[in-house]
Amino acid sequence: TRTPVNVTVTGAAGQIGYALLFRIASGHLLGADVPVKLRLLEIPQAVKAAEGTAMELDDCAFPLLRGIEITDDAEVAFDGTNVALLVGARPRAKGMERGDLLEANGGIFKPQGKAINDRAADDVRVLVVGNPANTNALIAQAAAPDVPAERFTAMTRLDHNRAISQLAKKTGSAVSDIRKLTIWGNHSATQYPDIFHAEVAGKNAAETVSDEQWLADEFIPTVAKRGAAIIDARGASSAASAANAALDHVFTWVNGTPEGDWTSMGIPSDGSYGVPEGLISSFPVTCAGGAYEIVQGLEINDFSRGRIDSSVKELSEERDAVRGLGLL
Ligand code: NAX
């Protein structure tokens, strides 16, 4: 029998946490044959709510769930952790400036990065979901110099999945027919969902659609502003779909991308495609053997170039801002 994998979830009492934990415990994070131990990190005021969720997890009698520990101490939460899902973050309050938001999140992600550095297992993999996800991941990574930088990733899989779904609708195809879609840049409104290399049932997606106006005026804004549309409709931000994307991200990272396809992950840039080295930006990646690799050699047309550059510019500005705050 396998040793359980330690999975830490921060912000466990939040709405994404609630949508995420039951699926982790039922085998959707790593696989149906991998037992897990959960560590839930919350702020002191939310520990009781997390305990309530843990009671419900107990009541599911999940065969793969080998234990739940709840704490408000990051050192305890990340002790021996193999997979860390950093979901808890400071939301933007009304009237809050971007600098204040970055600073408040620095207060969360810097100590968590340090605790991961000091306590996590050697094979730790980190996914940052809490916004601003890319820059929060950068802050955590900078606080963890002993952990290989590439273990810190940010979630753009929800954007990737949203784009697949929109493209399938437009082309009247099944989502399983869509391949090689890419989200570039920041998980924000500047992100660029790229269909120029994507395929619909084996045919080039951009040629199949052949409608640049749809691309520029509908597809890209629909994907980039989907979060706001969900809030408008549901009265609350994306939760189950965000949790689902977090599961997809880690599952793919650990278990690999299918032959002939790739996925999108926010990862530290190695300078590929003109993205400054070190920025945590979304790229097309393939995964195998528990590691990811940027898909190389894609031709970037002028349309794509401008959009990638403007999202990357935003990431550079965020990096400069957190550097100015002494967070890097
Ligand atoms: P909620 O406000 O429902 O839950 C957040 C939880 O985090 C709360 O229970 C809070 O007590 C906890 N928390 C705050 N500070 C903490 C700390 N220092 N340590 C541990 N826990 C802490 O938010 P929810 O809807 O669950 O969203 C969580 C985050 O995901 C937000 O930052 C949100 O913006 C972000 N999202 C990111 C997405 C992505 O694609 N990357 C999409 C969905 C989502 O909007």
The ipTM estimated for the assembled molecules is 0.98
pLDDT beyond 70 at 1: no
Instruction: Report whether residue 168 contacts ligand 1, using a CB cutoff of 6 Å.
Output: no
Six-digit token string for 190: 């500047």
Whether 187 is catalytic: yes
Decide whether any atom of ligand 1 lies within 6 Å of the 137 Cβ: no
Nearest protein CA to atom 9 of ligand 1, as residue: 14
Task: Report the pLDDT value the prediction gives residue 143, as an integer from 0 to 100.
Answer: 98
Top mutation candidate among 40, 42, 72, 186 for ligand 1, by most atoms within 8 Å of CB: 42
14 CA from centroid of ligand 1 (Å): 6
Average pLDDT, the chain: 97
Ranges of beta strands (E only) in 83-151 are: 83-86, 125-128
Quick check: pTM over 0.90?
A: yes
Distance from the CA of 143 to the center of ligand 1, in angstroms?
20
Cα 156 to ligand 1 centre (Å): 15
Residue 326's pLDDT is 93
In the chain, count H helices and then E strands.
12, 14
Q: What pLDDT is recorded for position 4?
A: 98
Residue whose structure tokens are 């996925």: 263
- Cβ-based neighbours of 253, under 8 Å, separated by 6 or more: 125, 153, 265, 287, 290, 292
Residue nearest to atom 35 of ligand 1 (CA): 130
To the question of whether residue 186 is assigned a binding role by annotation, the answer is no
Q: Is 119 annotated as a binding residue?
A: no
Assess whether the C-beta atom of 101 lies below 6 angstroms from ligand 1.
Answer: no
- Report CA torsion sign: 278, 279, 283, 288: positive
Q: Which residue type occupies 183?
A: I
How does 101-120 read in b/e, with b if 16+ C-beta sit within 10 Å? bbbebbebbbebbbbbbebb
Which pLDDT score is estimated for 24?
98
Rg (CA), the chain: 19
Which residues does 249 contact at the CB level (< 8 Å), separation at least 6?
127, 153, 155, 157, 263, 265
Q: Which of 28, 160, 187, 249 is catalytic?
A: 187
Q: What is the pLDDT of residues 2-45, one digit of tens each?
A: 899 999 999 999 999 999 999 999 999 999 999 999 999 999 99
Q: Which secondary-structure segment (H or E) carries 327? A: none
- As a whole number, mean pLDDT of residues 64-84 equals 98
Percent of the chain with pLDDT over 70: 100
Question: Residue 97's pLDDT band (boundaries 50, 70, 90)?
Answer: confident
Pocket of ligand 1 contains residue 42 by CB under 6 Å: yes
Q: How confident is the model at residue 94 (pLDDT cuts 50, 70, 90)?
A: confident
Q: How far is the CA of 225 from the centre of ligand 1 (A)?
A: 18
The span from the CA of 276 to the CA of 294, in Å, is 14
CB 307 within 8 A of CB 191: no
**Average pLDDT for 47-53:** 98
Q: Note the pLDDT tens digit of each residue in 207-266.
A: 999 999 999 999 999 999 999 999 999 999 999 999 999 999 999 999 999 999 999 999
CA distance 224 to 37: 35
CB burial of residue 32 (10 Å; 0-12, 13-18, 19+) = exposed
Q: Which two tokens stand for residue 186?
A: 């920041």
Name the residue with the closest Cα to ligand 1, atom 20.
42
Nearest CA to ligand 1 atom 31: 130
Give me the pLDDT at residue 95, please. 83
Sorting pLDDT into bands at 50, 70 and 90, what band is 91?
Answer: confident
Pocket test for ligand 1, best of 81, 87, 223 (most atoms within 8 A of CB): 87
The pLDDT tens digits of the residues spanning 156-181 come to 999 999 999 999 999 999 999 999 99
Q: Which of 103, 131, 249, 281 has most ligand 1 atoms within 8 Å of CB, for mutation?
A: 131
